[in-house]
């Protein structure tokens, strides 16, 4: 059953050239979706739009069939992982985590059980001020608060982005444990993290566009931009597009690899970014090795696919 339906949504910050255009995605109840992209590519903005914190300019967002703009925050019942910058430094960890539970008048025993479980498993000192917690503890605290109560939809921003890989693995374990059976959208710039959450529904954002929702398998078969190729595990190599009679080649590190005919010959002789699918193991940076160059490639300056 469809929970969230986003159709042709557009958004633009006043006085800025940043915008999101023609955003389409859908989520059924109990599904997971990943929004992947580099920093400042619009991931957080998209989450804020989905939970009603930013007003979109065009298109529609339906939550259980109702237009989001017509719903109050209470009626939406959508949880969003807040930015650590809004935390009150003097607040105690237990107060931050338990706030939504107390707001819903949950039994004190249930509140205590949840707090103790989080504290014991993830080493969160409940009576310690937030300002004295480590970055890892704060990330867990934010997520523990988000998942403390039942919500229609959970929107999870990458509060773990500045953590080490070892620390990220702890956060990932927390997420995996808490997203089971829930409707969740996770935004991150970490490929591994993203793939551990969902490979069935992925939306890739760049500073120029929001790609259509696809599965990892679909992205691997045909990435639509550089970020999609990175997500799918391709290597990106800068080389020159050349033409010999009616055939086209990628000139990479002194070797030529056949590629498909570009949309136009305007890119012949120019430097473009080729996506390489590795067939064997790793090799030196200055070679393609046993890999093959895919039959699509990119205009380096504009990050646009320029093959058919």
Q: How many CB atoms lie within 10 A of CB 164?
A: 11
| High-pLDDT (> 90) share of the chain, % | 61
pLDDT at 285 over 80: no
Greater pLDDT, 227 or 263: 227
Q: Is 129 within 8 Å of 90 (Cβ atoms)?
A: yes
Residues 148 and 70 in one domain: yes
Beta-bridge partners for 257: 250
Residue 43 belongs to some domain of the structure: yes
Residue after which a domain boundary falls, among 221, 243, 269: 221
pLDDT at 166 over 80: yes
Greater pLDDT, 253 or 60: 60
d(CA 27, CA 296): 30
The CATH number covering residue 31 comes to 3.40.50.300
pLDDT at 306 over 50: no
HSE-CB of 260 using CA atoms within 13 angstroms: 12
Residue 228 belongs to some domain of the structure: no
d(CA 141, CA 137): 6
Residues 131 and 247 in one domain: no
Residues 166 and 251 in one domain: no
pLDDT at 40 over 90: no
Residues 241 and 150 in one domain: no
Greater pLDDT, 266 or 8: 8
Nearest CA to 219 out of 204, 237, 235 is that of: 204
Give the pLDDT mean for 174-187: 96
Residues 142 and 271 in one domain: no
State the total domains in the chain. Answer: 2
Burial class (CB within 10 angstroms; exposed 0-12, middle 13-18, buried 19+) of 272: buried
Residues 283 and 147 in one domain: no
Confidence of residue 179 (pLDDT cuts 50, 70, 90): very high
Residue 229 belongs to some domain of the structure: no
pLDDT at 48 over 50: yes
Confidence of residue 273 (pLDDT cuts 50, 70, 90): confident
pLDDT at 289 over 70: no
User: Domain containing 124: what range?
Assistant: 2-221
Confidence of residue 259 (pLDDT cuts 50, 70, 90): confident
DSSP string, the chain: -EEEEEEEEEEE-TTSS-EEEEEEEEEETT-EEEEEE-TTSSHHHHHHHHTTSS--SEEEEEETTEEGGGS-HHHHTEEE---GGGS-TTSBHHHHHHHHHHHTT--HHHHHHHHHHHHHHHT--TTSBGGGS-HHHHHHHHHHHHTTS--SEEEE--TTTTS-HHHHHHHHHHHHHHHTTS-EEEEES-HHHHHHH-SSSEEEE-SS-BPPPB-HHHHHH--SSHHHHHHTT-EEEEEEEEEETTEEEEEETTEEEEEPPBS-GGGTTSEEEEEEE--SS---TT--TT-EEEEEEEETTTTEE-B-
pLDDT at 120 over 80: yes
**pTM of the complete model:** 0.87
Residue reference for tokens 């954002």: 205
Give the pLDDT mean for 151-166: 95
d(CA 252, CA 244): 15
Residue 132 belongs to some domain of the structure: yes
Residue 227 belongs to some domain of the structure: no
Residue 56 has which token pair? 């979109």
């Amino acid at each position: 059953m469809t929970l969230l339906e986003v159709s042709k949504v557009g958004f633009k910050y006043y006085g800025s050239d940043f915008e999101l255009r023609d955003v389409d995605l859908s989520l059924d109840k109990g599904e997971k979706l990943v929004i992947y992209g580099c920093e400042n590519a619009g991931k957080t903005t998209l989450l804020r739009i989905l939970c009603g914190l930013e007003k979109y300019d065009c298109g529609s967002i339906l939550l259980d069939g109702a237009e989001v703009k017509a719903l109050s925050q209470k009626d939406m019942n959508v949880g969003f992982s807040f930015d650590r910058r809004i935390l009150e430094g003097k607040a105690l960890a237990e107060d931050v985590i338990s706030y939504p539970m107390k707001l819903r008048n949950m039994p004190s025993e249930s509140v205590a059980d949840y707090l103790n479980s989080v504290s014991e498993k993830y080493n969160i000192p409940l009576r310690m001020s937030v300002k004295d917690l480590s970055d890892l503890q704060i990330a867990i605290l934010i997520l523990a608060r988000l998942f403390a109560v039942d919500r229609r939809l959970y929107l999870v921003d990458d509060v773990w982005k500045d953590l080490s890989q070892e620390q990220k693995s702890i956060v990932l374990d927390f997420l995996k444990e808490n997203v089971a059976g829930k409707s969740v959208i996770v935004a991150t710039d970490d490929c591994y993290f993203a793939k551990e959450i969902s490979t069935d529904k992925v939306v890739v954002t760049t500073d120029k566009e929001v790609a259509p929702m696809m599965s990892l398998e679909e992205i691997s078969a045909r990435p639509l931009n550089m970020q999609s190729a990175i997500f799918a595990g391709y290597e990106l190599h800068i080389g020159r597009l050349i033409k010999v009679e009616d055939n086209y080649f990628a000139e990479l590190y002194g070797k030529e690899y056949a590629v498909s005919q570009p949309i136009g010959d305007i890119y012949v002789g120019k430097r473009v970014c080729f996506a390489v699918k590795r067939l064997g193991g790793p090799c030196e940076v200055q070679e393609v090795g046993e890999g093959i160059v895919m039959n699509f490639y990119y205009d380096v300056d504009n990050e646009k696919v320029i093959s058919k």
